[in-house]
Amino acid sequence: MLYTVSEVAKILNVAPSTIRYYDKEGLLPFVERSTGGIRVFTEADLGWLKTISCLKNTGMPIKTIRLYVESAMQGDDTIDTRLSIIYEQRERLLEQMKELQLTLDIVEYKCWYYETAQKAGTEKVLNAMTLADIPEKYHPIIEHLHGKAE
Amino acid sequence: MLYTVSEVAKILNVAPSTIRYYDKEGLLPFVERSTGGIRVFTEADLGWLKTISCLKNTGMPIKTIRLYVESAMQGDDTIDTRLSIIYEQRERLLEQMKELQLTLDIVEYKCWYYETAQKAGTEKVLNAMTLADIPEKYHPIIEHLHGKAE
DNA sequence: CCTTGACTTAAAGTTAACTTTAAAGTGTAG
DNA sequence: CTACACTTTAAAGTTAACTTTAAGTCAAGG
């Protein structure tokens, strides 16, 4: 199965211009061209693009992705380089997981907060509460924010 | 306890100019000034800033944060608005969690891939492998990428 | 009082990641 | 063979989120 730029773009849910931009930035050195100069994507290319898309969506800058892809093109001499890029990315992902979890905790507290305010029709009921009135699972996050609940 | 711009910046691990930029963009309407016009942050302001920082770090655009903060300043009439902003953010966070988990799965597979290549000194051993030679836990991710392993 | 370091603003500059535009070429269906 | 949708490129434009600069103001120690 072979794909055009637009088909690949549709699968990855991005604009065709984005794919061309990635190519121009050296992220897709493996993509071949037809005799007329048109990009032809293979199934394997699509696998690469899915990986690239994931790395980009979780914050790896394009320059770093290029370094990784270029290394992979150069073969066995660059295994160490690629392994260390991947290790670093794993660290960053675990960091991001933690940040995401903290934000989710805050957001779930806010959900409870505004649902309570909505039922009462006012935030006053919440300002009047002490810690004892607030479900225990929200206590750590309130402590984290450390000021009054908003 | 009161704080200056630089102190707050240090606590949140950002540049002081970033805090001033957030203020200019209307993210900090609650921050008061000294008679001389210098920003004075309270403990409660810091709580706000931690929330804002989390929302921003998990991809909420500054315009949306402003909408949320401005609503909070307007009191009880905006409880519905704020609740829906928070619900939407929760959706986005759960989406991000999924994307992050997928990327982490890919990255862990790559760790195994390059560690194996490193031990052998070449990627050839991996190209020669069939699915049966690869630990089962990586099968779903290989299927997701669908092309050959890189 | 004066120095010094941190604060203030407005405005311009930077960077990353695209997107748009324009002009031209490709490939396929009728 | 021609029409037409889709592809190509280079170059310019856009947007978000800061950062830097410049010119000035504030506040605490000596």
Q: Does the distance separating the beta carbons of A150 and B48 come in below 8 Å?
A: yes
Which regions of chain A carry the CATH code 1.10.1660.10?
A: 1-74
Taking Cα atoms as reference points, which of B53, B68, A134 lies closest to residue A142? Answer: A134
**Nearest nucleotide, CA B19 to C1':** D18
d(CA A56, CA A62): 7
**Chain B residues with CB-CB distance to A83 below 8 A:** 111, 114-115, 118
**pLDDT for res B148:** 47
Is B80 within 8 Å of A123 when comparing Cβ atoms?
no
DSSP secondary structure string, A15-71? -HHHHHHHHHTTS-TT-EE-TTS-EEB-HHHHHHHHHHHHHHHTT--HHHHHHHHHH
Whether the CB-CB separation of B142 and B109 falls below 8 Å is answered with: yes
**Chain D bases closer than 7 A to any CB of the protein:** 6-10, 16-21, 25-27
CA separation (Å) from B3 to A10, A38, B34, B52? 50, 59, 12, 17
Closest CA to the C1' of C27: that residue is A36
% pLDDT > 70, chain A: 97
* Each residue's pLDDT tens digit, A40-79: 999 999 999 999 999 999 999 999 999 999 999 999 999 9
Rounded to whole angstroms, how far apart are CA atoms A69 and B123? 15
Query: pLDDT band for position A147 (50/70/90)?
Result: low
Per-residue pLDDT tens over the stretch A71-127 = 999 999 999 999 999 999 999 999 999 999 999 999 999 999 999 999 999 999 999
What pLDDT, on a 0 to 100 scale, did the predictor assign at position B147? 55
Say if domain B1-74 classifies as CATH 1.20.950.20. no
**In angstroms, rounded to a whole number, what is the distance separating the alpha carbons of residues B122 and B90?**
44
